[in-house]
Structure formats: C-alpha cells, structure tokens
Amino acid sequence: MKVIIYSIQSVFRSLWREKWINLLTILSISIGLSLLTAFILLTLNMDSVIQRWAKNFGLVVYLNDDISAEEEAALKIMISEDSDITEIKYISKELALKELRMTLGSKAPILEGLNDNPLPSSYELNLRRDLLEPELVRKKAVQLQQMKGIEEVQYGEKWLSSLYTITRAMKIGAFFIGGAIFIAITFITYSTIKIFFYRRKDEIETLKLLGATRIFIRLPFLLDGLIIGLLGGIISSLAIYGMYSFTSLKVIEFLPSFRLFMASFPFQVYIIVPLAGAAVSVIGSYIAVGKIRY
Amino acid sequence: MIEFSNVTKYYDDDVVLKDVTLTIEKGELTFITGPSGAGKSTLLKLIYCDERPDKGQIMVAGWDIGKLRQNTIPFLRRNVGIVFQDFRLLLNRTVFDNVALALRIHYMNASTIREDVHAVLKEVKLGHKADTYPQHLSGGEQQRVVIARAMVAKPTVLLADEPTGNLDIDNSQIIMGLFREINARGTTVLIATHNHGLFHASGRRVFYLKNHTIEKEEIG
Ligand SMILES: Nc1ncnc2c1ncn2[C@@H]1O[C@H](COP(=O)(O)OP(=O)(O)OP(=O)(O)O)[C@@H](O)[C@H]1O
Ligand SMILES: [Mg+2]
C-alpha cells in the first residue's frame, strides 16, 4: 500500500515535470487507439454482413423420380438427424411446379402441354455456419450424393469459395493491421518510458545500491505507463464518442447505408478502450524498463 | 560480522585481490588502508555485492555473498549503510530527499521518515540545510549528507570509502567523531582510507592492503 502511495506521488511529479512529452505520448496513444477501435468495429460489422449472406447459403438435394415411399421416409430421417444440417425445407414435385409457374408468370401457358410433372421433389438444406468452407461443403455434398434415392446435389460452389476467400482475407488483414496498431501503441509508450528510464539511470543505480527492490524501481515507470495509457484511452473514447455523435447526426443523412455500421456499436467500447490503452501501455513500460540486475 | 576466506577478485584478467582473508567482529570499528589502486573500494564493493568474488567465500551478517540471488541483494544492502567514495547524491533532490530515499525504499510512512531524517541531519550538523540542493553545499557538508543517508536506516554494518578524501583536518575529525558515535551504538564500521591520520593512535585494527592482499594487520 505504502509502495503505491509513494509511487503515485512520484509518478505525478514526474508526469508533470515532463508534461510535453507525456502529452505527446498520450495523444499518439489516443490516435492509435481510435484507429484500432474504428478498424475493429469495421471488421466486426463487415463480418456480420458476411454472416448474414452466409445464412442464405444452402444445398439443394434433388430426389430420384422413382424413389419409393419407404426410401423417402428413410432419407428424411437421415437428413433430419444429421447434426451438420440446421434447416430443412422440403419441396414436393407439385410445389416445385407451382413455383415455376409463378416464376414464369405470363409465360406459364407453355407448361400446359405437359401431361406429366417433369420436376423432381427436393430438399433445401442449410448447413451449420462453421461448415461453410468450400472443402467441407464439397465433402458434405458428396456424402449426400451417395445416399440412396438422391439424384443430384447442387450448391453455389463459386459463390461459396469467393465468400470464403473474402472472409479469410478479412480475418488475416484484421489480424495484421490490428496487430500492427497494437504494436505501434506499445512502442509509443515503450520509447517514452525508455527516455525517462535513461534520464534516471544514475538515480536508479543509486537506488539499487541503497537496497531498493525491483518492484520499487519498476513501479513508478509502470504507473507512469498506466496513467499515460489510461489518459490516452479516455481521450480516444471521447473522440470516438464525438465521431459517433457526428456521424449519427450528419453522415447518415447523406449516406443511409452507414446505418449498418452504426447499428452494432457496442457501448462497452467506452470502457474497453481506456483499459486496453492502459494494458498496452503498461506492457510497453515493462519492456522499456527491462530486466533489473544488481 | 564480515568474514573473507581466501577471496580472489579479477577485473577481466587483472587480479585485484588475491587470497584475502580477514574477519571483522560485530561492533568493531576497523580501517583498511593501502595505496591508490590497491583494491580498497573493490573490497568494500564485494561486501555490498556490487562485485562478486571469483574465488573464496564472503560472509556478511550471516549472508553468503557469493551465493546471493538477485532478489536477495536488496535485502542485504538494507543492512549495509554505504558512504560512497563518489558520494552518489542525487543533484535534483534536496538534502532531505536524498537522505529520505534510504528510508523510502523501506516503505516507511512519511511522518516517521520526516522525524528520522531531521534527527539524523541534526546529528551531522546539517539541520539547517535540509532544503538545500547538494551542489550548494561544501565538500565536507556533502560528505556529511552521504553519511546521514548511510546511517539513517540504522544498518548493522556501515562501510565508508575514503570518507575524508578532500577534507581538512577539522572536517576529518568531525566525520571520524560521527563514525565513532555510530559505532558506539552497535554498528560495525569499516573505513577504507589512505589518510593515516584517521587511524593513527585510534587503538583500532587496521588492515594494510598491498600487492593484492592483506600485507599486515596492526593496531593504529
Ligand atoms: N570496474 C572495474 N573494471 C576494471 N578495473 C577496475 C574496476 N574497478 C577498479 N578497477 C581497477 O582495480 C584496481 C583497484 O581499484 P579500487 O578502486 O578498488 O582501488 P582503491 O584502493 O579503492 O583506490 P583509491 O584509493 O584510488 O580509491 C585499480 O587498478 C582499478 O583500476
Ligand atoms: Mg577507492
């Protein structure tokens, strides 16, 4: 407890003594954090858009025309018990024909010449979301194809693979850009604290000789980093709030599609950003102080 | 309290101390002397673990210095007050803060620190200089600040490295008087000096360091 009190006093003293470099660091951190937050929100939102698309992805399983009633019942059980399949929609021959008529509209009379319904009955299946990878879907399709009474399995193979590519690219991009910003913020604190540390090198040497423990030596720097990061985070939160208010007022007026972005703006961001700033900053400070050897 | 058994210390390939053996009892006040470069400071540094022995064993207040782990070194040093040859005062801190530092690292509370520091400054006759910065003090006064810092935490061992380096006889006598007082309170004191006047007729043990080893031991 006393350690903390003493350290906090000395931290505020040193923060004030170095107010310009600290201010610069705090602002840099807040810019970094704002970028990171905007980027994460953008990624999250794009992901949810993609997930919405993915929801519509389905396999169509066409049944054999001469399938027997028993076969059809057995097939139905097999499909409904398959845990990979989340939704099943049965389309009978009759329903298929009706839908075709509706699609054709005024041209429907061309079907009049048929005395037999040429359309097969079918199932529309939706797969579990985590299975929506080209390879896994292909396997599933092959597996279904081999079931008795199934004529053909169709799905949007090209569409799926491009969706998959986009999602992957986004995830990798998010990882690298997010990581780069993260490292940049760590480095900002790192270099500031490193400067402080070098300036106080003689003092630290003396402290060590007087019998100061590592924690006593390190704590002021960590607290320094903590406060810098926290302030950076708070400023960033305020900036994000400001931008949010501005965009919700102005931008949506001109750019209604922006509402999509705004829609999933979690309120916790205002708490997470300062905490993240503090955490990253403390890590930077810790690395800056490095190993203390006697 | 301090025990060297066949201690050898090299700096790179140069031997500084060779087969040094000596024992200092608890509560003693002793001197170590020898020409410049003989290794007096090195011997003291070995005691507070700023240097490690290459051979032999050093025991200080029950600690085996050669085997001390990094985490334990601060706790050894809290038992050892050091008057550095180069002072090591922090120039951007007042006299008060410089002395207080030795207590702050023990996490003492502020009011105790204030009392103790003022008491010790009065003892070294610097009560009126508490708020002065070191560079505005004379050499003798700076020396006394260093002594105050070394004694304020009431260490069991006090090491003084050339404590009268550039001082006149009067100032040297004042400082010797301080060491005798500290010693009278039970602290074991070891003073490294080439100022023979300091131990002449003192009746204390004096170790003569020459040719990398203790050449002789006499009563001053
Ligand atoms: N860190 C070091 N690295 C290499 N050599 C050193 C180091 N410190 C001291 N020495 C050498 O070791 C020898 C002993 O040095 P030391 O400082 O112990 O002598 P001293 O007896 O205290 O001398 P003085 O009376 O001048 O203070 C000297 O030759 C010195 O140059
Ligand atoms: Mg010396």
Nearest CA-CA partner of A21 in A158, A258, A190, A192: A192
Pair (B112, B166) in one structural domain:
no
Same domain, A144 and A177: no
Asked whether residue A170 falls in the same domain as residue A261, the answer is yes
pLDDT value of position A252:
67
How many domains, chain B?
2
Among the residue ranges A122-131, B18-27, B91-100, B204-213, the one predicted with the least confidence is A122-131
Same domain, B69 and B104: no
The reply to whether B10 and B70 lie within a common domain is yes
Among A122, A155, A188, the domain boundary falls at: A155
Counting residues of chain A whose pLDDT is more than 70, the rounded percentage is 94
> Is the domain of A77 the same as that of A122?
yes
Q: Tell me, yes or no, whether A294 lies in a domain.
A: no
Whether B15 and B116 map to the same domain: the answer is: no
| In-domain check, residue B116 | yes
Both A34 and A84 in a single domain?
Answer: no
CATH number, domain with residue A73: 3.30.70.3040
* Average pLDDT score, chain A: 85
- Of A185 and B46, the structure prediction assigns the larger pLDDT to B46
In the predicted model, what is the mean pLDDT of residues B132-160? 96
- Is the CB of B50 inside 8 Å of chain A's CB atoms? yes
Classify residue A160: in a domain, yes or no.
Answer: no
Q: Report the pLDDT value the prediction gives residue B60, as an integer from 0 to 100.
A: 96
Whether B84 is covered by a domain: the verdict is no
B190, B24 contact by CB (below 8 A)? yes
Q: Does pLDDT of A248 surpass 80? A: no
pLDDT at B55: 95
Q: Which residue of B49, B75, B105 is in closest CB contact with A210?
A: B105
Residue A148: predicted pLDDT: 84
pLDDT of residue B216: 92
How much of chain B, in percent, has pLDDT values that exceed 90?
90
How many structural domains is chain A composed of? 2
- Residue B19 belongs to some domain of the structure: yes
**pLDDT of A128 above 90:** no
Where does the pLDDT of residue B46 fall: very low under 50, low under 70, confident under 90, or very high at 90 and above?
very high
pLDDT one-digit tens code per residue, A141-192: 999 888 888 889 998 888 888 888 888 888 888 889 888 988 998 999 999 9
Instruction: Compute the average pLDDT of residues A224-233.
Output: 94
Q: Which residue do the tokens 């009633």 mark?
A: A69
pLDDT of B81 over the 80 cut: yes
If you average pLDDT over residues A239-264, what whole number do you get? 70
Average pLDDT for chain B: 94
Q: Which of B154, B173, B190 lies at the terminal end of a domain, its last residue?
A: B154
Judged by CB atoms closer than 8 Å, whether chains meet at B50 and A293 is answered as no
Q: Who lines ligand 1 at CB under 6 A?
A: B 11, 16, 34, 36-42, 85, 162, 194
Instruction: Tell me how far apart the alpha carbons of residues A78 and A87 are, in angstroms, rounded to a whole number.
Output: 13
Chain B residue numbers with beta carbons less than 8 Å from the beta carbon of A293 are 70
User: Are the beta carbons of A202 and B90 separated by less than 8 Å?
Assistant: yes
- In this prediction, residue A259 carries a pLDDT of 60
Residue B146's domain comprises 89-154
Among the partner-chain residues B48, B71, B74, the one whose CB lies closest to the CB of A212 is B74
Q: What is the mean pLDDT of residues A264-288?
A: 89
pTM of the model: 0.77
CA neighbor of B122 nearest in space, from B111, B133, B110, B114: B114
Q: What is the pLDDT of residue A226?
A: 94
Lowest mean per-residue pLDDT among A3-17, A66-80, A225-239, B17-31: A3-17
The kind and range of the H/E element at B67 are none
Mark which of B154, B171, B201 sits at the end of a domain.
B154
Residue in chain A closest to B50 (alpha carbons) equals A294
Same domain, A36 and A174: yes
Q: Tokens for A33?
A: 């954090």
Question: What CATH number is attached to the domain comprising B204?
Answer: 3.40.50.300
In a domain, B34, yes or no: yes
Task: Tell whether A45 and A93 lie within a shared domain.
Answer: no
Chain A residues with CB under 8 Å of B90 CB are 202-203, 206
* Closest ligand, as measured to the CA of B36: 1
Residue span of the structural domain in which A124 resides:
58-155
A118 located within any domain = yes
B135 shares a domain with B160: no
Q: What is the pLDDT of residue B166?
A: 78
A161 located within any domain: no
ipTM above threshold 0.90: yes
Residue A47 has pLDDT above 80, yes or no: no
Q: Are residues A34 and A176 in the same domain?
A: yes
Do B102 and A210 lie within an 8 Å CB cutoff? yes
Q: How confident is the model at residue A1 (pLDDT cuts 50, 70, 90)?
A: low
Higher pLDDT, B39 or A55: B39
Q: Quick check: is A232 in a domain?
A: yes
Give the A-side interface with B, CB within 8 Å: 2-3, 6, 202-203, 205-214, 216, 293-294
Identify whether B141 is part of a domain: yes
- Does A211 contact B77 at a Cβ distance shorter than 8 Å? yes
Indicate if the pLDDT at residue A262 is higher than 60.
Answer: no
Q: Contact B105/A213, CB-based, under 8 Å?
A: yes
Same domain membership, residue A264 and residue A177: yes
Note the ligand closest to the C-alpha atom of B34: 1
Show which of B126, B154, B182 is a domain's final residue. Answer: B154
Tell me the C-alpha distance between A285 and A224, whole Å: 8
Burial B77-116 (b: 16+ CB within 10 A, else e): bbbbbbbbbebbbbeeebbbebbbbbbbbbebeeeebeeb
The mean per-residue pLDDT over the stretch A55-66 comes to 86
A206 chain-B contacts, CB cut-off 8 A:
88, 90, 101
